[in-house]
Amino acid sequence: MDRQRLTITMKKELLKQVDLAIDGTRIRNRSHAIEYLLSKSLGPSISQAFILAGGRGVKMRPFTYEMPKTMIPVHNCPILEHIINQLRENGIKDIIISIDYLGEKIKEYFKDGNKFGVKITYLQEKNPTGTAAPLLKAKKYLTSNFFLVIHGDVLANIDYHDLISFAENNKPVVTMTLTSLADPSQCGTVKLRGAKVVDFQEKIGKGPEVSRLINAGIYVMSNKIFNYIPKKNVSMLEKDVFPELTKKGLITGYFFEGQWFDISTPEIYERALKEWRK
C-alpha cells in the first residue's frame, strides 16, 4: 500500500468541480479525483519517452524515397514534430529516438532538441531488425521506472496525463493504448477482460477477428520489460514479446477516443491531411 490517509477541508464550489471529474470507471470517487487532479497539476511522473523512428516506409513511396516516414509533413509539420510537441506540452522532455533509414535527415532537423524545448538522444540502427532490438539498446538511457514508447508514424490526440495515471494505478509491465477500427484486419487486434489484455494477435489479415480493438502504437512500459525481451533471435515487440506478456497477464489496455492515424499508407496520409486536428 503506497497511499496515506489524509483529511482535508475544501470549499463547496471547488468540491463540485472535483466531483465533475468522477466518471465511475477511471476515476471512481472523490479521493481518486483529488489524487488525479493533483497529479495532473503537478506534472507527469514520467519524464522519458522512446520514439521508434526507423523503417524504410515502403508503403509510403514515393514520399519515402527522399525522407524517412516520420518526417512526412502534416499541416506543414513533420509527424515526428507533432509527437515531440505533444510530449513537451505534457512535461516529457527527455526523448530518445531510434533512427536508421535516412536518419541523418531527422538529426539535421531536430539536432539536440533544444530548439524544440526538449533533450534528444539518438540511437543509430545499422542493421535494423524490428522494434525489440532498438528498445534493448535504449535500456542504458531509460533510467526511470516507467517510460513512454511511441511509434514515430502515429498521430494521436491522447491525454498523456490520464494514460500515465492509469498505468501507475494498474502497474503492469506494459500499458497498451487502444482504439477501435471498423476493419482491424491489418492491425494488432486486442481482446480485453476488464482492463487486462487477454488476447493479442498482430495483423491477423482477413480471417476471423479477435475484436475491433487495436493496438494504437503508444505504450507506457515498466523497466521490467527488459526482463522479457530475449537477447537473441527477437525482432518485433508485437510478434515476439507482447503475445508472451499477454499469456502472463502483464499487459493492460488503455482505451482512448481521440483522433488516431497510423500513417502507413498514402490513403491514411490523405485522410490525416484532411482530418487531423491538434
List the one residue out of 226, 213, 208 whose CA is nearest residue 252.
Answer: 213
Rounded mean pLDDT of 123-146? 87
Q: What is the pLDDT of residue 188?
A: 61
Q: What is the pLDDT of residue 41?
A: 60
8 Å CB contact between 115 and 27: no
Q: Rounded to whole angstroms, how far apart are CA atoms 23 and 4?
A: 23
Rounded mean pLDDT of 224-245? 86
Confidence class for position 213, pLDDT limits 50, 70, 90: confident
List the one residue out of 125, 187, 153 whose CA is nearest residue 262.
Answer: 153
Cell 476515476 identifies what position? Answer: 27
Rounded mean pLDDT of 106-123? 95
pTM of this prediction? 0.82
> pLDDT at residue 128 above 70?
no
Segments making up each domain of the chain, as ranges:
45-176+217-231+260-275
Q: Rounded to whole angstroms, how far apart are CA atoms 24 and 227?
A: 35
Q: How many alpha carbons lie under 13 Å from residue 215 in its C-beta half-sphere? A: 32
Whether the bond between 62 and the residue before it is cis, its omega within 30 degrees of 0, is: yes
> pLDDT at residue 205 above 60?
no
Q: Rounded to whole angstroms, how far apart are CA atoms 234 and 129?
A: 8
Q: Does residue 258 or residue 6 have the better pLDDT?
A: 258
8 Å CB contact between 97 and 120: yes
Cell 471547488 identifies what position? Answer: 14
Range from 41-45, 67-71, 97-101, 169-173 carrying the lowest mean pLDDT? 41-45
Kindly report the average pLDDT of the chain as a whole number. 84
Q: What is the pLDDT of residue 29?
A: 75
Domain 45-176+217-231+260-275, architecture per CATH: Alpha-Beta Complex (3.90)
Q: Rounded to whole angstroms, how far apart are CA atoms 188 and 137?
A: 24
State what percent of residues in the chain have pLDDT above 90. Answer: 38
Q: What is the pLDDT of residue 1?
A: 47
Cα–Cα distance list, 175 to 136, 219, 220, 245, 255 (Å): 18, 5, 5, 11, 10
Q: Rounded to whole angstroms, how far apart are CA atoms 152 and 156?
A: 11
